[in-house]
Amino acid sequence: MRMLLGDVLRTAGDLPWTHALYASAGRRSFEESAPVLVWDVDDVSDAATDLPAEAIALDYEYVLAIDDVQSIVANALAQRPGATTAELLLAFQHYLDRDAFIVWDG
């Protein structure tokens, strides 16, 4: 399903953990309004690409598994209950840049 990244972060717990997040090829940073694709990782068009046909048609590439996104959001909310979408985005970007969960003081 096509979504905006902010919506993915706000509803991560409701998304199928067996799916993955795909976004524009070459993207290095994200905004809440970034269009993304949430799709079943096993629904690939051919084994050579490991990408769903929908992602190929949009020129999207794999970003993260949804269960990783769910973990990022859960970690952020454990530290900051009621975190804003902007804070969730910060935690998401931190994970992508450092392959580690964000740690907020206090």
The full set of domain ranges for the chain reads 2-98
pLDDT per position as a tens digit, 1-57: 999 999 999 999 999 999 999 999 988 889 999 999 999 877 776 666 788 989 999
Q: Are strands 35-40 and 2-4 parallel, antiparallel or unpaired?
A: antiparallel
Residue 57 bridge partners (DSSP): none
Q: HSE on the CB side for 94, CA within 13 Å?
A: 16
Report whether 63 contacts 26 (CB < 8 A): no
Nearest by Cα to 33 from 42, 41, 24: 24
